[in-house]
Chain A
Amino acid sequence: MADTIIDVLIVGAGPAGLQAAVHAVRKKASVVVLGKVAHSSIYGAHVENYLCVDGVVDGADLLRTAVDQATRFGAEIIAEDVLHVDQADELFKVKIESGTELLCRTLIFATGTSRKKLKVKGEKELSGRGVSYCVDCDANFYRNAKVAVVGNESAAVDGALTLTGYASEVHLVCQALEVGEGLAAKLTESSVQVHAGRWPKEITGENAVQGLLLDDDTSLEVDGVFVELGAKGAMELATTIGVMLDLDTFSYIDTNKRQQTNIAGIYAAGDIAGPPWQMAKAVGEGCVAGWEAANYANKQKRQQKED
C-alpha cells in the first residue's frame, strides 16, 4: 500500500482523545487526532474537581495545555470531523470532511456524547413516520421525495449531500454552518437548497411528516425531516462496522478494562464509553486506550515484518 498507514487514529479531541494521543505517541506509535477541540464538552466548563489543579480552571485552558503536550510529543491534530469509517482487511479506513481518506491500524473512539434531539413540536410524535436521525439508514425510503435536513455541522451537510442521490428536493436548515472547506465547497456545488440563519419551530403532519415550519413562519413542504445535529456520533460511525453498544440502553460503546471493543484494533474511551461523565474518568480511559492501541499497532507491524 502506497499510502502511509497511521498506527493510532483517534476520533475526538477532548480529554479522552488527547490523553490517548499522549500515551500512544510516547510508545513510538504514529498518532493522528481528528476533531475540534472547541467542541469538547469540557471546553466551556469551569472545573474544580480534577486532581492536581488548584481552584477553578477553565476547560478551554486545560485543553490548550493538552493540545500543546500532545503535539510536542509528536501527535498530529487535524481539526476535522469524521464522516465515515470502513474496515479494509486488517486496517481501518476513515473519511474526513475534506474528503481525504486515512488508513490506520487501530482506531480509538473518543467522541464524547452529544445532543441528538431537536426538541420541537411534532418531533416525537412523527418519529419513524418521517422524522429520522440517520441519513445513512433511511435515505433509501425517500427516493424522489422532498426532504429537509436540520443541523449546522458535518453530519447535516454530509447527510444533505447523501440525500441528493435519492430525494428530488433537499433542503438544509441551519443557523450558521460550521464545517470544513472541503465539505462547504461540495455543498455550494450541490443542488441542496440552504436556508441559513433559520431553525425549525415545528414539524407538521397528521400521521406522517408533511412540512417543516421555520422560525420566520415560512414553511417547507417535505415528506421527511432528518435531524443531524453536531458531528456523526458513535451510533452512526461505529455500529456500521459492527462495534457493539451496551445492550440495555444503546447509548455507549461497550468496552472491557483495556478499553477494547468487540472488534480487534478498535478502542473507546471517555464519555462515549459510558458514565460517569467526568474528565478524570475520560483521561484515565484515554491513557489505557492509547497505551493498548499503540501496543497492538506495534505488534502488528512486527508481525508484518516477519512475514
Chain B
Amino acid sequence: MASDKVIQVSDGDFDARALKSDVPFLLDFWAPWCGPCKAIGPVIDELADEFAGKLKIGKMNVDDNPATPGKYGIRAIPTLILFKGGEVVDQVTGAVGKKQLAAMIEKAL
C-alpha cells in the first residue's frame, strides 16, 4: 500500500519541504521507467509509516524535476539523500534493503 505520508517533492518546493524541514528529510530520486526504483517503492512507504513524527520522506520524479538532481550531482537512480538542517548527511544509490536504510536513518536521528 502506498503510504499517504510520502510527500511528493518538486524543484519548486524542494527548499521549503526538504531543506527547511523541522525533522530530517529523506528524499528518494526516482523515475517511472526505472525497475529498481519501483522495487524500493514499498520500502519507502513502510519507512515513512515507521518513522512518522521523527523523519519525513519524500519522492522526486527526476524526469519532471531536472534542477534538484543536477544540483546534487545525481547521475544514477534510485538515489536517496538524507537532509538534516538543510545539509546532506548521508546518501545512497541503488536498490538497498530496508535494514540498511533504517540503519542510515537511525544514525542521523
Write the residues of chain A forming the contact surface with B, with a CB cutoff of 8 angstroms.
127-134, 136-138, 140-142, 207-208, 223-224, 235-236, 238-242, 244-251
B80: nearest residue on chain A (CB-CB)?
A128
A128 to B78, CA, bound (A): 9
Residues of B in contact with A (beta carbons under 8 Å apart): 31, 33-40, 42-43, 46, 63, 69, 73-79, 91-99
Asked whether, in the complex, the Cβ of A128 is within 8 Å of the Cβ of B75, the reply is: yes
What is the minimal beta-carbon distance from A246 to any residue of chain B, in angstroms?
A: 7
Please determine whether B76 and A141 come into contact, CB atoms closer than 8 angstroms. Answer: yes
Q: Which of B35, B63, B91 contacts A240 (CB 8 A)?
A: B35
**Which of B38, B91, B94 has the most A CB atoms < 10 Å from its CB?**
B94
When chains A and B are docked, how far (Å) is the Cα of A207 from the Cα of B72?
Answer: 11
Contacts of A246 in B (CB 8 A): 97
Which one of A132, A136, A239, A249 contacts B99 once the chains associate, using CB atoms below 8 Å?
A: A249
Decide if A128 touches B91 in the complex (CB within 8 Å): yes
For B94, the chain A residues whose CB sits under 8 A away are: 127-128, 133
Chain B residue at smallest Cβ distance from A130: B75
Chain A residues with CB under 8 Å of B40's CB are 250
Selected from A239, A244, A247, the residue in CB contact (under 8 A) with B98 is A247
Q: Given the interface contacts A127-B93, A246-B97, A247-B98, does A239 sit within 8 Å of B75 by beta carbon?
A: no
Query: Which residues of chain B are within 8 angstroms of A241 by Cβ–Cβ distance?
Result: 35
For residue B63, which residues in chain A have a CB less than 8 angstroms away from its CB?
140
Q: Which residues of A contact B79 (CB under 8 A)?
A: 128
* Chain A residue at smallest Cβ distance from B30: A137
Instruction: Tell which of A141, A208, A223, A250 touches B95, judged by Cβ atoms closer than 8 Å.
Output: A250
> Considering only CB atoms, which chain B residue lies closest to A223 in the complex?
B75
B35, B43, B98, B99: which contacts A137 (Cβ < 8 A)?
B35
In whole angstroms, what is the CA distance A289 to B99 when docked? 29
